Amino acid sequence: GAVVSQHPSWVICKSGTSVKIECRSLDFQATTMFWYRQFPKQSLMLMATSNEGSKATYEQGVEKDKFLINHASLTLSTLTVTSAHPEDSSFYICSARGSAGYTDTQYFGPGTRLTVL
């Protein structure tokens, strides 16, 4: 149980285009989902927190107009990187917290590798 999926697992796009990443909790309801960014050999950096049906809360320094987050249902959240540039290339990971396990435990997706040319 407590499986979180992400799609796509990797994506290559041209500079200036937008990319959408999906995060789904497969066997539990996720009241809260989180989006992280990770650079090689570093820990995870929280970008934003989203609760189902409400606007996402962004961390300081994260542009909300560039990284659009939609938490449309208790099992789906999406991150759209708008007008992507090479510096947006990174490993993006989502996590979900909700009705699985301990209240505060987060379950992570497998990540999405974004490469912007």
Partner 1 sequence: TQLLEQSPQFLSIQEGENLTVYCNSSSVFSSLQWYRQEPGEGPVLLVTVVTGGEVKKLKRLTFQFGDARKDSSLHITAAQPGDTGLYLCAGVVTSGSRLTFGEGTQLTVNP
Binding site for partner 1 (CB under 8 A): 2, 4, 6, 34, 41-44, 46, 49, 91, 93, 95, 101-111, 113
Q: What is the DSSP string of the chain?
A: ---EEEE-SEEEE-TT--EEEEEEESSS-EEEEEEEEE-TTS-EEEEEEEETTS--EEPTT--TTTEEEEEEETTEEEEEE-S--GGG-EEEEEEEEESSSSTT--EE---EEEEE-
Min dist. Cβ of residue 72 to partner 1 (A): 21
Min dist. Cβ of residue 51 to partner 1 (A): 11
Cα 81 to chain centroid, rounded:
10
Which of residues 15 and 74 has its CB atom nearest to partner 1 in the complex? 74
Which of residues 15 and 64 has its CB atom nearest to partner 1 in the complex? 64
Which of residues 79 and 93 has its CB atom nearest to partner 1 in the complex? 93
Min dist. Cβ of residue 18 to partner 1 (A): 23
Which of residues 44 and 82 has its CB atom nearest to partner 1 in the complex? 44
Min dist. Cβ of residue 16 to partner 1 (A): 26
